[in-house]
Amino acid sequence: MLIHNLTYINVGAARRRHRNKKESSNEILQFLWCIINSDKHIKHPVAKAADTGSKRLISLAPDAWVQWVTQRPEVVAKEILGSEFQWISRETDVLVKAYSATHGDFLVLNELQLRYTAHMPLRMRAYAALAQERYRLPTYPVLVNILPPPSTLTIVNSYEQEFLGLRAIQDYRVINLWEIDAEIVFQQPLPSLLPFVPILRGGGEASVVQRALQVLRADAQLNQLESLLAFFASFVLDTPLVQQIMRWDMAVLRESPWYQEILAEGEQRGLQQGLQQGLQQGLQQGARQHLIRILQRRFGEIPHEVEARLEGESVEQLENLMDSAIAVNSLEEFVSIFSK
């Protein structure tokens, strides 16, 4: 349960040690907020802060990033561009102007998605076209999926549509983080992926998370990403172990709008579960009372022990017993059937 995993104890000394990180950590958390709400295309107040957070991840080592996503070691990053277009803003997009001696200048469009959705192919087509139209450069679109989608959803790497004999096609590269070996983050290195180490393949071990944390804390530019690392660690490790590894207060998580969204989602799920349980209990109680009324009308007062034995029966079992209560000739016969 996400809410359970994000409930951290307050540690006064650790809070003082990390107080100066609060502002930059909130930017990263707002980035997460926008990833989670990435189906919303309308511009909103946190867009700029979130854009800063997503750009910050890639700007930690932009050359290493574009070389990794394009799989071409000669590519270099020249500039991180604005990815806002008229009427539409994609806070989880990072648009990088890149260069290679073979292909010249081109765009690398990076889309970071918490979970893949069925709308992603159309979205990738739309934003690739918008980026290319605005900057007049060839575009290399990349979709980075952070967490696996439901098993019923197949991830595809292209958009295809045919209408009245005309075809529209947009290919894009798909990177599923859960399929990426955690070791590659340390070998290449890829600082932008350090916060995601816990959900990479082979990254869910406490020793690997500790290794990622040591790298983050060794660099003043990277240590602001600790809260993001802790968040993804909470997906694969128990809360006390995450606390032990991080050894600092995670109250900043609870202060973010992202945390409030997760909290509201958890409360809504709890409400729905409660409604379902209440409905089932209501059906059981109604069926039990109806069965007792049938028995009372046919055989008079019903012993308390018979009523008590009906308490734990399911709705289906109670309905079957109603048929028996109508068919039998005595209460004793009903009890004998019930006891089988």
In the chain, DSSP assigns E strands to 76-81, 84-85, 88-89, 93-100, 104-115, 139-147, 158-163, 166-171, 173-176
The number of residues making up the chain comes to 340
pLDDT digits (tens, 9 = 90+) for 244-293: 776 654 454 555 444 555 556 566 656 656 655 665 676 677 778 878 88
DSSP string, 32-99: HHHHHTTT--S--TTHHHHHHHHHHHHHTSHHHHHHHHHT-TT-EEEEEEP-EETTEE-TTEEEEEEE
| Mean pLDDT in residue range 107-115 | 89
Mean pLDDT of the chain: 75
Report the relative pairing of strands 104-115 and 139-147 from DSSP bridges.
parallel
What token pair was written down for 15?
């809070």
Q: Using pLDDT thresholds of 50, 70 and 90, give the confidence band for residue 340.
A: low
- Report yes or no on whether pTM surpasses 0.85: no
Check residue 320 and give its pLDDT: 80
Q: Peptide bond before 73: cis, by omega within 30 degrees of 0?
A: no
How do the domains of the chain map onto residue ranges?
A: 2-255, 269-338
What token pair was written down for 313?
């029966």
pLDDT digits (tens, 9 = 90+) for 297-338: 788 888 888 888 888 788 778 878 887 887 778 888 888 877
Q: Which amino acid is at 293?
A: R
pLDDT digits (tens, 9 = 90+) for 58-105: 888 899 999 999 999 999 999 988 766 544 445 557 899 999 999 999
